[in-house]
Amino acid sequence: MAYQTFALKYRPRTFDEIVGQDHVATTLRNAVSEGRVAHGYLFAGPRGTGKTSTARVLAKALSCERGPTPDPCCECDICVAIDSGRALDVIEMDAASNRGVDDIRKLREGIGYAPTRARCKFYILDEAHMLTPEASNALLKTLEEPPEHAYFVLATTEPHRILPTIRSRCQSFEFRPIPPALIVEALRRIAQGEGVEVEEQALGAIARAAGGAMRDAESIFDQVIAYGRGDVTLEVVNSILGVTDAELLASLADAVAGGDIEGVFRAVDEVVASGKDIGQLLEDLSLYFRDLLRLSLGAAPPQWMEGAAAGRERMQSQAQVLGARRAAEIIEELAETGGRLRETSQQPLLLEVSLAHLASLSGEAQVAGEPEPGRPRSERPVEQPVEEPAVADTAEERAEEPPSPEPVDLPEGPLAIEVVRRYWPRMADALREAEHVSLVPLVMAATPGAVEEGTLTLDFPAESAWQFERVRQSYLRPVRAAIEALYGREMEIECRLEGAAPAEPGAQLQEQIAQELMLNFEGSEELDAEE
């Protein structure tokens, strides 16, 4: 007997075996039980999610010798013929290659004839959106007034291309991408049926690579078993899929989170030496930090991680060290690096510089007050006492001395730039009090330059161009709020980069308005979660 692929061998045969589409299976079961089956259905959804398989199950439910029944026996001649694709009364038509009006005319001519063996005639049109407008219009009358013995299922991945008049004559069902947890469960059943030992992490990697398509997952699993000759390990799956080894991803995440630039260089050297695809590595690393972001926000670990306690504990520790905001910033910069990757011939260098930069920022954040690796983020480092200014010699200087509590109690009237600079070191404490710890290394790279007409200018040195852009583009509002809390004055903020040409007044105002609109309507780039 010829070998059957898993996608065919383990194709759903009953409504109970349909994976991830309970809303469809339950509705169709009830319709068969109550005799309310419509003559036209539209199954829409991504590829590999069970549209054609569900149509075949419905055909069996209507044609089974023991039916109509929501539980076809799968043993009678009709059921066996439908499962094997030999049933004369179940007509599967590929609308991509039979899309013309002549093809539909032939279909309509055959509809009038009674079924040969089954109780009904059942038509399955795959890729129904490929029908020409003329062919779709030719099908309209049949769908509106079909013979009693005729049923139609139109399957499509692009429902918006189906004529509205066609959609109005069918009951529509949306097939959704299958969650990875359900794919893992289905693959586990296949492994038991094949007598194959598998690693739980390997099944999780296959499920993620399938992208919600059960058929793709079964095809990958079939290939993995053939390659590994029965051994299904994470290493074998990664080799087949070309994805980055999990240990390498975890090591890179450790280096970035811990500010270990030397560790980043070692990992990148390993990537280059092994000939791995840089683009694939960036994609895998982004997904890894996505999982860390979810863990840092308190989401439960994915089900595929349940069997890998060591890996789960390591990721939870990394998520605790990074926090939600830092993980989100890393994902954002990795995405920017991925976008620039296609524009350079020095991909390893771009990867190295990007990861080293991320690691350096993590190191700066730890020095500025972020928790050290291994320290729970809920435990803040002990605040160092602020050195009090020397005893003032004059009454004017005594009036400028800050009292112990914040904000600084300054005299009424405009602030002199000397006074602003004197108390600027306390800006780090003001940001921490406002729960913007991640902004400390960005803002403290600047020094107050001038105070004119209620506007404070922050000067960034040329080597802090990245911090300048981040504050200027994304964090003006929280920085302004912290400055107002510190000095007790409402002030506008202007950022200036050493060596950069000053912006024209009109452009500066336009940019400020754009920033305000973005913050008001889209929200700050920062996450609401605690650091």
> H helices within 145-199, ranges in order?
164-167, 180-194
pLDDT above 60: residue 60: yes
- Most confident region among 36-50, 240-254, 263-277, 383-397 by mean pLDDT: 36-50
pLDDT above 80: residue 405: no
| Angstrom distance (rounded) from CA 201 to CA 311 | 9
Residue 399 has, within 13 A of its CA and on its CB side, a CA count of: 8
Confidence at residue 469, expressed as pLDDT on a 0 to 100 scale: 83
Element containing residue 245 per DSSP (H, E): none
Confidence at residue 183, expressed as pLDDT on a 0 to 100 scale: 92
Long-range contacts: 325-328, Cβ < 8 Å, 24+? 325/438, 325/526, 325/527, 325/529, 325/531, 326/257, 326/362, 326/365, 326/370, 326/438, 326/531, 327/289, 327/292, 327/293, 327/296, 328/293, 328/525, 328/526, 328/527
Termini Cα distance of the chain: 61
DSSP designation for 387: P
Is the preceding peptide bond at 425 cis, omega within 30 degrees of 0? Answer: no
Mean pLDDT within 5-15: 90
Q: Which residues pair with 43 in a beta bridge?
A: 155, 173
Confidence at residue 370, expressed as pLDDT on a 0 to 100 scale: 47
Mean pLDDT within 101-108: 86
Mean pLDDT is lowest, of 48-62, 284-298, 365-379, for 365-379
Mean pLDDT is lowest, of 75-79, 202-206, 225-229, for 225-229
Phi, psi of 491 (to 5 degrees): -135, 140
pLDDT above 70: residue 302: no
| Angstrom distance (rounded) from CA 431 to CA 386 | 15
Q: Which CATH architecture has domain 246-367?
A: Up-down Bundle (1.20)
Confidence at residue 71, expressed as pLDDT on a 0 to 100 scale: 92
Mean pLDDT within 493-512: 61
pLDDT above 70: residue 379: no
Mean pLDDT within 455-464: 87
125-178 residue pLDDT tens: 999 999 988 888 888 888 888 888 999 999 999 999 998 989 999 999 999 999
Confidence at residue 153, expressed as pLDDT on a 0 to 100 scale: 93
Q: Are 377 and 323 in contact (CB under 8 A)?
A: yes
3-state SS, one letter per residue, for 19-72: CCCHHHHHHHHHHHHHCCCCCEEEEECCCCCCHHHHHHHHHHHHHCCCCCCCCC
Mean pLDDT is lowest, of 90-94, 218-222, 242-246, 459-463, for 242-246
Confidence at residue 54, expressed as pLDDT on a 0 to 100 scale: 94
Q: How confident is the model at residue 506 (pLDDT cuts 50, 70, 90)?
A: very low
| Angstrom distance (rounded) from CA 95 to CA 85 | 17
Angle at the Cα of 85 from the Cα atoms of 81 and 87, rounded to 5 degrees: 50
Q: How confident is the model at residue 518 (pLDDT cuts 50, 70, 90)?
A: very low
| Angstrom distance (rounded) from CA 377 to CA 319 | 10
Q: Percentage of the chain surpassing pLDDT 90?
A: 19
pLDDT above 60: residue 107: yes
Q: How confident is the model at residue 327 (pLDDT cuts 50, 70, 90)?
A: confident
Nearest Cα residue to 136 out of 114, 150, 156: 156
Confidence at residue 23, expressed as pLDDT on a 0 to 100 scale: 93
Q: How confident is the model at residue 255 (pLDDT cuts 50, 70, 90)?
A: confident
Q: How confident is the model at residue 256 (pLDDT cuts 50, 70, 90)?
A: confident
The class level of CATH for 6-174 reads alpha beta
Helices 324-341 and 309-322 pack at an angle, to 10 degrees, of 100
In this structure, which amino acid lies at residue 303? Answer: Q
Residue 61 has, within 13 A of its CA and on its CB side, a CA count of: 26
Mean pLDDT within 18-34: 93
Mean pLDDT is lowest, of 76-85, 269-278, 395-404, for 395-404
Buried/exposed code over 209-220 (b: 16+ C-beta within 10 A; e: otherwise) = bbebbbbbbbbb
Q: Are 89 and 96 in contact (CB under 8 A)?
A: no
pLDDT above 70: residue 396: no
Assigned fold of 410-521: GMP Synthetase; Chain A, domain 3 (3.30.300)
Helices 505-521 and 476-487 pack at an angle, to 10 degrees, of 100
Confidence at residue 305, expressed as pLDDT on a 0 to 100 scale: 56
Confidence at residue 378, expressed as pLDDT on a 0 to 100 scale: 39
Mean pLDDT within 294-308: 65
| Angstrom distance (rounded) from CA 171 to CA 174 | 10
Nearest Cα residue to 24 out of 153, 168, 148, 151: 153
| Angstrom distance (rounded) from CA 181 to CA 20 | 10
| Angstrom distance (rounded) from CA 63 to CA 57 | 10
133, burial (CB in 10 Å: exposed 0-12, middle 13-18, buried 19+): exposed
Give every CB contact of residue 290 below 8 A, 6+ residues apart in sequence: 331
Mean pLDDT within 331-349: 83
Confidence at residue 464, expressed as pLDDT on a 0 to 100 scale: 82
Domain boundaries, the chain: 6-174, 180-241, 246-367, 410-521
> H helices within 259-346, ranges in order?
261-273, 278-296, 309-322, 324-341
Nearest Cα residue to 152 out of 195, 95, 209: 95
Assigned fold of 180-241: Helicase, Ruva Protein; domain 3 (1.10.8)
- Tokens of residue 502, six digits: 């000053």
Give every CB contact of residue 180 below 8 A, 6+ residues apart in sequence: 204, 207, 208, 210, 212, 302, 303, 304
Give every CB contact of residue 422 below 8 A, 6+ residues apart in sequence: 389, 400
In this structure, which amino acid lies at residue 341? Answer: L
The dihedral sign for the CA sequence 60, 66, 71, 74? negative
pLDDT above 70: residue 381: no
In this structure, which amino acid lies at residue 77? Answer: D
| Angstrom distance (rounded) from CA 480 to CA 489 | 10
pLDDT mean across residues, the chain? 79
pLDDT above 60: residue 320: yes
The dihedral sign for the CA sequence 407, 411, 414, 416? negative
176-209 residue pLDDT tens: 999 888 999 999 999 888 888 888 888 888 888 8
354-370 residue pLDDT tens: 888 888 876 555 555 54
